[in-house]
Amino acid sequence: MHNARETSQPNTVAAIVIAWNEAEALRLILPELPRDAIDELIVVDGGSTDGTPDVAAALEATVIQQPGRGYGDACWAGAQEASADILVYLDGDYADDPSEFMRVLEPLRAGRADLVVGSRNGPGSDADALPSHQRVGNQLACLLIRILYRVRMEDIGSFRAIRRETLVSLGMREMTYGWPVEMVVKAARAGLRIENVPVRYRRRIGYSKVGGTLKGSLKAGGLMIAVILRHAVRRPRS
């Protein structure tokens, strides 16, 4: 198993917000983040047409344009931009509650975990924030991870924290919506400590690019399942 990390490690923090046409939501998210606990605030823009970069810049965030396409590409672009020791990811649609930032950060900063994943079932969560078909697909993915990797996952959420050096060591390759589950399965294969933290999850602001349609949810769910199965049959890296 992976050795426990020491709490004396450097703990500078980067908040990485993934955004695509989220100007309205960012006006709420960025001011509500605990800025005194954040050393770098980065908004990764996926080619917005609603003024998202201008809103983010006005709220004192560093704005970068992702070089390619896909959710994973945006996440990786944020990691490359950051120089902080710890990366905390959240989506820019206001479904991830900024007030839960410290809850997600704490297990990693305290040295209890190597990867923290927010479970979208915390107190105050909106029952209908996740469409039923998206919830079922997520539960199936968690079940497969439990069976194949012996890791108990409650959710594959977007709100998560990981050390930058740990993320780099995982060798992430999935530049689509398979990125979140790839991070989990690669961490599991490496024997890292994964902790689920219940966080409040809300109805997003604006239109969902994935969960808003059955077709989009099925496509994303299929990618997640494919990533889980693909890595299950590969030999762990020596």
- Domain CATH code at residue 72: 3.90.550.10
Q: List, for residues 126-174, the tens digit of each pLDDT value.
A: 888 888 878 888 899 999 999 999 999 999 999 999 999 999 999 999 9
Q: Is the pTM of this model over 0.85?
A: yes
Among 75-79, 99-103, 208-212, name the one with the lowest average pLDDT: 208-212
- Is the confidence at residue 92, as pLDDT, over 80? yes
Q: List, for residues 18-39, the tens digit of each pLDDT value.
A: 999 999 999 999 999 999 999 9
* Percentage of the residues of the chain whose pLDDT score is greater than 90: 75
Q: List, for residues 190-219, the tens digit of each pLDDT value.
A: 999 999 999 999 999 976 655 455 566 667
For residue 98, is it within any domain? Answer: yes
Mean pLDDT, the chain, rounded, equals 90
For residue 8, is it within any domain? Answer: no
pLDDT at 183: 97
Maximum Cα–Cα distance across the chain = 47
For residue 6, is it within any domain? Answer: no
For residue 4, is it within any domain? Answer: no
More confident residue, 133 or 11: 11
Q: 54: domain range?
A: 13-232
Contact 221, 120 (CB under 8 A): no
pLDDT at 216: 62
Contact 105, 37 (CB under 8 A): yes
Among 97-111, 136-150, 205-219, 220-234, name the one with the lowest average pLDDT: 205-219
For residue 237, is it within any domain? Answer: no
For residue 81, is it within any domain? Answer: yes
Q: How far apart are CA 193 and CA 189, in angstroms?
A: 11
